[in-house]
């Protein structure tokens, strides 16, 4: 929550109303993202009113929505985690249904879809639609509404991901990096018009999405092999520059024409130099990635919880061909 002092009490009340029939234990974690108004004071008041299951995470300053979501996810203790905005536009009553649907469909992430979105058409809907189409086109993870904060995750999946920058809108994409995309689903959720405060996003968000998409594309495709990304560009520019230089050499020595004043000569030399820079950058990036993945805590794959080989698992013993012979025991 950031500058949402008027939304605090009705939001917490709606959460309790929406989860009143939920069969399992739950907690509510409210993250104050360095609000300069009375948001934090209101949160403390509702914590006293509703009880100890309402927890407050106070950030020292305004770090942004992505950092606030990461702080809440880090503090969460449940096996399932649901996230939603604190501006009353998401309906907490959708959470129990989403939990049941996630378990029934055996998903790792269930993304909310604001099919009937109650926002300004030009200022909010248009940028969101453009961003959604761009993300789907570049990443290959096809959802209708990446920006909806109402999501339900399996904790062991979302806690494997570190959110940074303004990457909260790409959470389904990051999740697809640690689990199969077919374990990511979406469901239609309710959406309400903002009642208090003002939106923190506008049409300028579309341009930030384009910049972020470049980083997402790189990490999705080339995180473990960055040399292929930089090397491909380097080889392409080097090949083009070399062909231009060969042509200019033909013009100079065979046709006898002057090439010193031709802009094409400068372009060819720059392409070759650019190729050398990209190729050396690729080598350095490969060295850095090897250092990263050689650490015990870093791997370029993730094994689903419960699917690891148990320490006491049996070994398949060799067939001795002798009836009644004692099986050989592997000596570790």
- In tens digits, what is the pLDDT along the chain, a chain of 332 residues? 999 999 999 999 999 999 998 988 999 999 999 999 999 999 999 999 999 899 999 999 998 888 899 999 999 999 999 999 988 889 999 999 999 999 999 999 999 998 877 655 555 666 677 777 777 777 778 888 888 889 999 999 999 988 877 778 788 888 988 888 889 999 999 888 777 766 655 555 666 777 777 777 787 778 778 899 999 999 999 999 999 999 999 999 999 898 888 999 999 999 999 999 999 999 999 888 777 766 555 554 555 555 455 565 555 555 555 544 444 444 44
How many CB atoms are located within 10 Å of the residue 87 CB?
22
**What is residue 306's predicted lDDT score, i.e. its pLDDT?**
54
Give the position of tokens 């012979």. Answer: 325
Please, are residues 56 and 72 in contact by the beta-carbon 8 Å criterion?
Answer: no
Q: How far is CA 70 from the centre of its chain?
A: 11
Yes or no: say if 71 and 31 are a contact pair by the CB < 8 Å rule. Answer: yes
Q: For the beta carbon of residue 66, count every other beta carbon within 10 angstroms.
A: 17
Length in residues, the chain: 332
Pair of tokens at residue 62: 């305004």
Q: Are 197 and 7 in contact (CB under 8 A)?
A: yes
- The DSSP bridge partners found for residue 80 are 154
pLDDT at residue number 325: 47
Burial 183-212 (b: 16+ CB within 10 A, else e): bbbbbebbbeebeebeeeeeeebeeebeeb
Token pair listed for 180 = 């199969």
- Confidence at residue 327, expressed as pLDDT on a 0 to 100 scale: 47
Cut 0.75: pTM above it: no
Query: How many CB atoms within 10 Å of residue 106?
Result: 9
pLDDT of residue 304: 58
Residue 26 confidence (pLDDT): 93
Q: Which residues contact 253 (CB under 8 A, 6 or more apart)?
A: none
Say if residues 64 and 54 touch (Cβ distance below 8 Å): no
pLDDT of residue 233: 94
Q: Are 113 and 145 in contact (CB under 8 A)?
A: yes
């Amino acid at each position: 929550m950031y500058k949402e002092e008027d939304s605090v009490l009705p939001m917490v009340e709606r959460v309790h109303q929406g989860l009143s029939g939920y069969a399992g234990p739950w907690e509510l974690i409210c993250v104050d993202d360095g609000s300069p108004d009375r948001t934090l004071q209101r949160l403390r008041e509702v914590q006293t009113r509703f009880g100890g299951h309402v927890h407050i995470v106070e950030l020292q300053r305004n770090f942004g929505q992505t950092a606030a979501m990461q702080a809440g996810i880090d503090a969460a203790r449940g096996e399932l985690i649901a996230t939603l905005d604190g501006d009353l536009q998401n309906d907490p009553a959708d959470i129990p249904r989403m939990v049941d649907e996630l378990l029934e469909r055996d998903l790792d992430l269930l993304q909310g879809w604001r099919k009937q979105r109650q926002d300004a058409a030009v200022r909010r809907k248009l940028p969101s639609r453009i961003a959604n189409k761009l993300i789907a086109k570049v990443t290959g993870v096809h959802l209708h509404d990446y920006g909806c904060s109402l999501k339900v995750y399996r904790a062991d999946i979302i806690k494997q991901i570190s959110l940074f920058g303004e990457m909260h809108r790409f959470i389904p994409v990051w999740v697809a990096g640690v689990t199969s995309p077919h374990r990511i689903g979406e469901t239609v959720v309710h959406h309400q018009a903002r009642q208090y405060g003002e939106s923190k996003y506008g049409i300028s968000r579309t341009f930030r999405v384009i910049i972020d998409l470049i980083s997402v594309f790189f990490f999705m495709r080339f995180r473990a092999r960055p040399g292929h990304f930089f090397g491909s560009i380097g080889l392409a520019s080097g090949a083009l520059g070399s062909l231009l230089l060969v042509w200019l050499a033909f013009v100079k020595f065979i046709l006898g024409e002057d090439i010193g004043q031709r802009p094409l000569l400068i372009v060819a030399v720059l392409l070759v130099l650019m190729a050398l820079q990209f190729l050396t950058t690729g080598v350095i990036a490969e060295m850095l990635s090897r250092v990263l993945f050689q650490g015990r805590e870093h791997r370029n794959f993730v094994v689903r919880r419960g699917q690891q080989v148990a320490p006491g698992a049996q070994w398949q013993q060799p067939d001795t061909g002798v009836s009644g012979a004692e099986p050989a025991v592997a000596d570790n």
